[in-house]
Amino acid sequence: MASGNHIENPFEYFIEKLTWGVSDVGRRLIPNPARHAGQAVPQVRKVTAADLWDALRQGAADLGALRDDILFIGIIYPVAGLLMARLAFSYDLLPMLFPLASGFAILGPVAAVGLYEMSRRRELGEHVTWLDAFGVLASPALGSILGMGAILLALFGLWLGTAYEINLLTLGAAPPPTLLAFSHNVFWTHSGATLIAAGVGAGFLFAVVAFAIGVVTVPLLLDRDVELWIAIRTSLRVVAANPGTMMLWGLIVAGSLVLGSIPALVGLIFVVPVLGHASWHLYRKAVA
């Protein structure tokens, strides 16, 4: 029978503190639905190809004004890519190298959140340094941003699983003995052609979903304290209202990432910051 002077054992003490900790984290990270009650749904605008080029010019201007700070952050992206490549070579996961590299773009909308924050502050006329990229940690929408990150991470995992199954069905489970043998199997065999066609087709579908739900979602969450699902719906509405322009923007992003990846991913140091800042300015043009 419990008593008022009951002394907790270590297990009870741990559970109690863990419960308190989860409660504290939940209050900090999980959005409060009451906070968003009755809020207006953001209105979307029509954007044109000229708006895309203007957004890219503004993104390049942000890079020029904050080049030392932004390039410091930009180094993170090629380093992460090289680490993934090293992991693939080390654990006989060579067939997963391309899915890892291409699928990493799925996480781009959240990975660039620090760049959005820097553009937002510069737009307000503030003095900006790379430390301001961490200002997102103080955003009231942090929980929603983390929620969006979880959605994109799940999508990334599904893409990797799909790519792995495609590889098993086409090239088999045996790891390639050498890079040369793997290249031959991919580019000079019927199974390799099937792998490329199926992989590119599946990757395109995953990329379209990630792009549609994320093109303006994270900038919108940073700019206004809106519910995550409202932000995602707004992103879908932007794409639906501007299908041709958004398709062109997707091609620009994909093409820029490919070009930036060719010289051992070094080009991403410049490409990712420009695209990140340009995405902020495109959000400004697309959402009233």
Q: Dump pLDDT digits (tens) for 165-197.
A: 998 888 887 777 777 877 788 888 888 899 899
Supply the mean pLDDT for the chain. Answer: 79
pLDDT at res. 32: 52
* 107-121, 193-207, 253-267: which is most confident: 193-207
Residue type, 174: A
Q: Is position 32 within any domain?
A: no
- Rounded mean pLDDT, 66-94: 63
Binned at pLDDT 50, 70 and 90, residue 268 comes out as: confident
Closest CA to 282 of 230, 223, 229, 226: 223
Indicate if the pLDDT at residue 73 is higher than 80: no
- Rounded mean pLDDT, 30-54: 76
Residue with tokens 């997102």: 136
Q: Is position 162 within any domain?
A: yes
More confident residue, 39 or 45: 45
Closest CA to 110 of 151, 161, 67: 151
pLDDT at res. 69: 52
The DSSP code for 287 is B
Binned at pLDDT 50, 70 and 90, residue 155 comes out as: very high
pLDDT at res. 226: 87
Residue with tokens 């992989």: 199
Q: Is position 49 within any domain?
A: yes
Q: Dump pLDDT digits (tens) for 227-240.
A: 899 999 999 999 99
The answer to whether the beta carbons of residues 239 and 248 sit under 8 Å apart is no
pLDDT at res. 135: 77
Torsions phi, psi of 44, nearest 5? -105, 155
**Contact partners, residue 120, CB within 8 Å, separation at least 6:** 219, 222, 223, 280
Q: For residue 287, what are the β-bridge partners? A: 44
3-class secondary structure, 186: helix
- Rounded mean pLDDT, 104-117: 84
Range of the domain at 253: 39-286
Q: Identify the weakest region by mean pLDDT among 16-20, 180-184, 217-221.
A: 16-20
pLDDT at res. 14: 44
Residue 250 CA: distances (Å) to CA of 104, 211, 247: 15, 7, 5
Q: For residue 44, what are the β-bridge partners? A: 287
Q: To 10 degrees, the CA torsion angle through 239, 200, 269, 92?
A: 140
pLDDT at res. 39: 61
Q: Identify the weakest region by mean pLDDT among 26-30, 102-106, 188-192.
A: 26-30
Number of domains in the chain: 1
The answer to whether the beta carbons of residues 74 and 273 sit under 8 Å apart is yes
Q: Is position 10 within any domain?
A: no
Q: How many other β-carbons are positioned within 10 Å of the β-carbon of residue 43? A: 9
Torsions phi, psi of 287, nearest 5? -115, 125
Binned at pLDDT 50, 70 and 90, residue 130 comes out as: low
- Rounded mean pLDDT, 265-286: 86
3-state secondary structure 101-126: HHHHHHHHHHHCHHHHHHHHHHHCCC
Q: Is position 105 within any domain?
A: yes
Indicate if the pLDDT at residue 145 is higher than 70: yes
**Angle formed at CA 58 by CA 126 and CA 286, multiple of 5 degrees:** 100
Q: Is position 172 within any domain?
A: yes
Q: Is position 7 within any domain?
A: no
* 12-16, 31-35, 66-70: which is most confident: 66-70
Q: Is position 34 within any domain?
A: no
